[in-house]
Amino acid sequence: MFEARRTQSTFGLAMNMLELSFVAAARKVRQSHRNAIWAIMLSMFQSVLFIFAFYLMFTVVGARGAAIRGDFLLYLLTGIYAYLTHIKSVQQVMSAEGRTSAIMQHAPMNTLVAIFSSAMSVLYTQTICLLIILFAIHTAINPISIHFWHGRRDARPG
């Protein structure tokens, strides 16, 4: 019931905060589904559905022949993932536990950790989904290669 407080270093406090954020993010991923794999698969299905719908729409409208340098599917993927990640992260942060939530009664939990873990749970699921979809595109459809990833050819450092 009563506990003596110990002084911790700043590094120890930061590591404690990161550990607590990790546990809360894992809880947030499993909150909507009992299995984290199922949550990732559902997010991946939603992303693939968006990509397929936009690919079909651009093909029917005829905008696929526009002057887009590079892979058209990768072009669609970047826009869709930026949109989905933004929308899902805003929704999760808005629905993060507040100060009256039951989880806040645990001693080290605070509102900052709740907001950070909500954002990190979305980033985690979206990153895993993106990597799986990129791997599937790379192996099944066409190999993805990124030329001049550092910028322009004539760019000089400094």
Chunked in runs of 10, what are the mean pLDDT values of the chain (158 residues)?
Answer: 74 86 85 82 92 90 74 88 93 83 74 87 91 93 79 61
Per-residue tokens: 76: 């669609």
pTM of the predicted protein model:
0.77
Q: Apex CA 93: angle with CA 8 and CA 133, to 5°?
A: 105
pLDDT of residue 108: 76
Tokens 């970047």 found at: 78
pLDDT of residue 152: 65
Q: Note whether 109 and 103 are within 8 A (CB).
A: yes
The number of angstroms, rounded, from the C-alpha of 63 to the middle of its chain's C-alpha atoms is: 29
pLDDT of residue 16: 86
pLDDT of residue 1: 56
Per-residue tokens: 149: 């990833």
pLDDT of residue 80: 92
**Closest among 117, 95, 103, 115 to 19, alpha carbons compared:** 117
pLDDT of residue 61: 86
CA–CA separation, 37 and 29 (whole Å) = 9
pLDDT of residue 154: 64
pLDDT of residue 99: 74
